[in-house]
Amino acid sequence: MSVAAVAGLPAGRQRRVLPGFGLTMGLVLTYVGIIVLLPVIALFLKGAEIGPLRFWEIVTAPRTLAALRLTLTAAALATVFNAFYGLLMAWVLVRYRFPGRRLLDAMMDIPFALPTAVAGLALTALFSENGWYGAILAPAGIGVVYTIWGVAVAMSFTSIPFVVRTVQPILEDLDPGQEEAARTLGATPFQIFTRVIFPAILPSFLVGTTIAFARSLGEFGAVIFIAGNLPMKTEIASLLAVIRLEEYDYNGAAAIALTLVAIAMVLLVVSNWLQARLTRRRVPA
């Protein structure tokens, strides 16, 4: 409190809540380095060891291609579903007040909290021919378990919160004045949604769906129970990597894993770039 103590502070130095930029930044970089970056680098190094020719051979092998195709198609199906349903759920949670809203809001996080293997087992039980859903769908000729649809259902289950939770806060912060302004200017409810609300949430909606897609690509626990894992038919890429590992084919496992990582990274970069482009001129400089 004394004047001398205050005067003793180096000039121009601001006091911070956490002790120092150096220490906090150091901790952050250490974490990112050890937990995030190092494994990815190790993967790339392992991949580089293989050599381009062998790498190409592994990735273009019929079984790998089939697995990648299934993974990408199922993830795309799950993401299309999640984009619509996630947006709808965020909308309902933000725009309406009803009994049980907070409970419903909490339930959105169940897929995050539930072990994915448990989710996979539960879904398999429900959709198998004598399960609750399967008993209805099977006579209609719709098979879910051991098909691409089952894979998509499992992927959708674990990734839908990403859409809900990224869109929800943006929707909450929307200025109701903008909608009222559109109303006084003669816009129909449909025009208000497509021209005022949707453009406002589009950047976060894009990010949410991209993360959901990336997550679906790598989903393992929930999928392997319901997929049946028939080679060339319902075998996902990450499972194939595990199989290669169990066969002591480290190169094969690394090549498949690397391909998955590359697709996910490209997606995230593109989505962030799109988001930056869309929001660039909206934020005051």
Partner 1 sequence: MSLVISHLARRFGATPVLRGIDLEVRQGELVALLGPSGSGKTTLLRIIAGLDWPDAGGLSFDGADWLAKSAAERRIGFVFQHYALFPHMTVRDNIAFGLTVLPRASRPGKAQIAATVDGLLRFLQIEGLADRYPAELSGGQRQRVALGRAMAIEPRVLLLDEPFGALDAQVRRDLRRWLRGVHDSAGTTTIFVTHDQEEAFELADRVVVMNGGFIEQIGRPDEIYDHPATPFVARFLGLTVELPVTMRAGRAQAAGLDLAALPRRALPDGPATLFLRPADIEALPDPAAPFRVTEAASTGALLRIVAENGTGCRIEAEVPRREARALSVGQPVGLRIVAGQIFPGGTASAAAQAEPSRPLKEARS
Q: How far is the CB of 201 from partner 1 (least distance, A)?
A: 10
Q: What CA–CA distance (Å, rounded) separates 191 from 185?
A: 11
Q: How far is the CB of 195 from partner 1 (least distance, A)?
A: 7
Q: How far is the CB of 92 from partner 1 (least distance, A)?
A: 24
Of residues 62 and 284, the one with the C-beta less far from partner 1: 284
Of residues 200 and 243, the one with the C-beta less far from partner 1: 200
Q: How far is the CB of 192 from partner 1 (least distance, A)?
A: 9
Q: How far is the CB of 115 from partner 1 (least distance, A)?
A: 41
Of residues 108 and 182, the one with the C-beta less far from partner 1: 182
Of residues 126 and 278, the one with the C-beta less far from partner 1: 278
Binding residues for partner 1, rule: CB under 8 A, are 175, 177-178, 180-188, 191, 195-196, 199-200, 278, 281-285
Of residues 24 and 194, the one with the C-beta less far from partner 1: 194
